[in-house]
Amino acid sequence: MEFDLSHDQQALTRATVEFARERLSGLAGEGETTGPSLREAWRLCGEQGILGLVVPEEYGGLGLGALDSALAMEALGYGCPDMGFVFSVAAHVYACVVPVVAFGEGDQKRKFLPGMVSGELVATHCVTEPGAGSDAYAMKTRAERGEGGYALRGSKCFSSNAPVADLFLVHAVTDPAAGFLGLSAFLLEKGTPGLSVSKPYHKLGLSTAPLGDVFLEDCPVRAANRLGREGQGGAIFTHSMNWERACLFAAYLGAMARQLEETIRFAKERRQFGKPIKDFQAVSHRIADMKVRLEAARLLVYHAAWRLDRVSDGRPSIDSSIAKLFVSESAVESGLDAIQIHGGFGIMAEGGVERALRDAVPGRIFSGTSEIQKNTIARLLGL
């Protein structure tokens, strides 16, 4: 086993942290923003190669694997305090770019990947429906065969990036009798007749990530815009979730590392009872717990990503589910610890400490809730 990062991996991490600090600073805060707009920041990430981390070079990407991309995402989460933006970027990369790379036909890759990589196109992944959340395969959106293609009818909710999206990766039922094998995936472009989106929701955390509903009223989609074979939608969804559960959650590692450093600094500076609060064991033990969670989470993410680079058998990855479950729960626990150590300042909006907790809470829900990860892990253990 080799735990050291290679020279290239260290360079990628350093360059991404520097990029995030220099180019994304002041980005879309929850109040006034002094940095680039979401679209500008998106293009900057394109220039930096972040949107094309896992895309072959022939389509403008860096051609890296899952582990390298996870390292870059961790560095982005560390260098950019706007987790809403980091989440938006990661959702685009892992839920939209990754399936096009894995399942796209040559023409589809040539048509869509360069824009998805450069930042010209923002993509959204549309699976969840009002009546089908954890039970995603109970979706009702239908894709009915017609002349030269399909007509899509239904509605999606909680789609990350939907309010600003140019490209919609939509899952729909092509054969209601076939269950998992009756789903197919489609690439719809903004402006498709019958396709509309809601305004962004107001939400507890990841507030700068635009999430919305997607409405499909008999949207015509050419057969050439079906991603993968008819009936392959379930496999495509599983593939995306395996990547998202490992690599998107690497961004939370970066956020947790930044939070840990800030909490240590605060504990050294803040004095009560005539000494720095770090000298109280109740405080230092809490910080030790934060460190242990971060290191354990990091190993789980790296291991899951490393496995993705080696095994791609189309089945749900137990390693990705374990990593997702542990990182998301740890980020919430460490977020609470950081607030407790910061005392009253911890819950003030100005400090950013409470925002990190709010950004962590949705992590227990998207990409499958914590309960669903435990169900998956149990199932893969034969239970």
Ligand X SMILES: Cc1cc2nc3c(=O)[nH]c(=O)nc-3n(C[C@H](O)[C@H](O)[C@H](O)COP(=O)(O)OP(=O)(O)OC[C@H]3O[C@@H](n4cnc5c(N)ncnc54)[C@H](O)[C@@H]3O)c2cc1C
The residues that are catalytic are: 244
Question: What DSSP state is assigned to residue 132?
Answer: B
Residue tagged 């729960």 (tokens) = 329
- Within 78-97, the residues that bind ligand X by CB under 6 A are 91, 95
- Within 206-225, the residues that bind ligand X by CB under 6 A are 206, 211
Q: How far is the CB of 205 from ligand X (least distance, A)?
A: 7
**Residue (38 or 95) nearer to ligand X, CB:** 95
**C-beta separation of 127 from 156 below 8 A:** yes
Q: How far is the CB of 228 from ligand X (least distance, A)?
A: 17
Stretch of 37-45, 235-243, 313-321, 364-372 contacting ligand X, by CB under 6 A = 364-372
Stretch of 44-52, 194-202, 214-222, 360-368 contacting ligand X, by CB under 6 A = 360-368
Total residues contacting ligand X by CB under 6 A comes to 21
Percent helix, strand and coil across the chain, each to the nearest 5: 55, 15, 30
Residue 193: CB atoms within 10 A of its CB come to: 8
- Within 129-148, the residues that bind ligand X by CB under 6 A are 133-134
Could you report how far apart the first and last alpha carbons of the chain are, in Å?
Answer: 30
Q: How far is the CB of 203 from ligand X (least distance, A)?
A: 7
Rg of the chain (C-alpha set): 21
168 backbone dihedrals φ, ψ, rounded to 5°: -120, 115
DSSP string, 66-129: HHHHHHHHHHHHHH---HHHHHHHHHIIIIIIHHHHHH--HHHHHHHHHHHHHTS--EEEE--B
* Rounded Cα gap, residues 168 and 13, in angstroms: 30
**Residue (182 or 276) nearer to ligand X, CB:** 182
**Residue (6 or 134) nearer to ligand X, CB:** 134
Stretch of 127-135, 172-180, 214-222, 326-334 contacting ligand X, by CB under 6 A = 127-135
76 binds ligand X per the rule CB under 6 A: no
Q: How far is the CB of 244 from ligand X (least distance, A)?
A: 9
Q: Would you tell me which residues interact with ligand X (CB under 6 A)? A: 91, 95, 125-128, 133-134, 158-160, 206, 211, 362, 365-366, 368-369, 371-372, 375
